[in-house]
């Protein structure tokens, strides 16, 4: 069969619901338009580990995508292509595949020349990476090397610049609301504080939106360092007013206590993008609230239920938004390919589907505009001036 061209598609970084629907949308449309579609396995790792030899077994690195395969996978969560946090421009020597170890011998290696050779070997005309700013930053790097790249934004934190919405965010917010409401039964039964740690390294959207929807009384976000005594005072106030005598706070994983210079980490080991694994701020907040609660509760201690939602909000099937938006993003990407346009990031801006130059990835960070959307005195969202705001209130124009 003579194809119009070959499209490569990959997913990088953390998994989220909505990746498979995006792969499905790209593949079905591309096949019907006469293109061959190759799934690159394990993110950028597939293009690093691939051996450019027709006799080599590359089944773990690349696969032909068919309509039947993606149609079945499109109804599921995660990514059937699998994923990794591989960064080919900063690859540790231990991660260099065996067939490249004579060529790359430094402690940290830029194996981009091999990636470019593998793209050429596979005959890829357009490459569609789906990921967050880390994955897409390498896509931008390849674009600058001459590869035709059309990018799709994905991250539960919803912090990819240039777009109001990223795949995975809707399900994350939906699950956070659902799980928080479920945990209320225990908090109310025991008259406790409920502290829930949610995702959000640099941006607090995943704490702010569920709180705005009524899932929590207060939230603390990475964009504003908070005073623990002020949070405690507010939670005691909320607990006193609640008929079941409990109160709830959502804590972004990247939130910081006033006077502390850095976030809370599980360890100081970093990934290939220089990120330490976050975790522990919820534990720290819960312990301090319990310890200091007698000061604000007539000398009596208030116990705490402390829960980290973690992978519960990123596993399982996508919600409605993360089924619909990936479908649209995949078709937007194909529109660009058919127009022979590359170097773009598909996006939603002020409620409209669009695309922006991919170099927006290296632009200003997308974070919560504290002055517009967060009440720093009350440690909760602002509920005024919704007129002409987009669906998710906060836009990419910060």
157, 164, 217, 238: which one is catalytic?
Answer: 157
Query: What is the residue whose two structure tokens read 């032909």?
Result: 64
Contacts of 317 (CB under 8 A, 6+ apart): 17, 75, 76, 77
∠ Cα 384 184 225 (to 5°): 50
Question: Is 36 strand, coil or helix?
Answer: strand
Determine the distance from the C-alpha atom of residue 394 to the mean position of all C-alpha atoms in its chain, rounded to a whole number.
16
Q: Please give the Cα distance from 381 to 389 (Å, whole number).
A: 14
CB-based contact 30:7 (threshold 8 Å): yes
Structure tokens at 397: 């124009």
Which neighbouring-strand residues pair with 375? 380
Q: Please give the Cα distance from 229 to 227 (Å, whole number).
A: 6
Catalytic residue status for 164: no
CB-based contact 152:130 (threshold 8 Å): yes
Q: Please give the Cα distance from 206 to 173 (Å, whole number).
A: 6
H-helix or E-strand spanning residue 127? strand 126-131
Residues tagged active-site:
157
């Amino acid at each position: 069969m003579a194809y119009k061209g070959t499209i490569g598609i990959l997913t990088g970084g953390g998994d989220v619901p909505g990746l498979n629907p995006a792969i499905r949308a790209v593949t079905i449309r591309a096949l019907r338009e006469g293109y061959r579609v190759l799934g690159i396995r394990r993110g950028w790792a597939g293009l690093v580990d691939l051996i450019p030899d027709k006799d080599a077994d590359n089944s773990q690195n690349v696969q032909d995508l068919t309509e039947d395969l993606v149609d079945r996978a499109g109804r599921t969560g995660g990514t059937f292509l699998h994923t990794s946090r591989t960064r080919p421009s900063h690859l540790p020597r231990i991660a260099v595949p065996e067939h490249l170890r004579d060529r790359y011998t430094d402690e940290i290696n830029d194996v981009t020349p091999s990636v470019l050779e593998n793209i050429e070997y596979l005959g890829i005309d357009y490459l569609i990476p789906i990921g967050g700013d880390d994955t897409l930053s390498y896509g931008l790097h390849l674009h600058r090397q001459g590869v035709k790249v059309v990018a799709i934004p994905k991250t539960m934190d919803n912090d990819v610049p240039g777009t109001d919405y990223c795949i995975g965010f809707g399900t994350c917010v939906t699950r956070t609301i659902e799980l928080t409401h479920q945990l209320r039964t225990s908090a109310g039964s025991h008259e406790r504080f409920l502290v829930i740690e949610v995702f959000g390294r640099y941006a607090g959207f995943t704490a702010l939106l569920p709180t705005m929807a009524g899932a929590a009384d207060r939230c603390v976000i990475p964009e504003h360092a908070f005073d623990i005594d002020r949070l405690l005072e507010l939670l005691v106030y909320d607990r006193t007013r609640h008929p079941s005598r409990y109160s709830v706070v959502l804590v972004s994983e990247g939130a910081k206590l006033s006077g502390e210079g850095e976030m809370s980490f599980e360890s100081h080991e970093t990934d290939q993008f220089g990120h330490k694994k976050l975790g522990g701020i919820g534990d720290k907040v819960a312990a301090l609230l319990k310890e200091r609660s007698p000061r604000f509760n007539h000398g009596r201690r208030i116990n705490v239920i402390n829960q980290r939602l973690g992978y519960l909000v990123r596993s399982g099937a996508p919600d409605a938004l993360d089924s619909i938006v990936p479908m649209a993003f995949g078709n937007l990407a194909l529109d660009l390919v058919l127009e022979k346009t590359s170097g773009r990031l598909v996006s939603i801006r002020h409620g409209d589907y669009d695309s922006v130059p991919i170099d927006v990835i290296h632009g200003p960070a997308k974070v919560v505009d504290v002055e517009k959307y967060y009440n720093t005195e009350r440690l909760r969202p602002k509920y005024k001036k919704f007129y002409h705001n987009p669906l998710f209130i906060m836009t990419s124009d910060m």
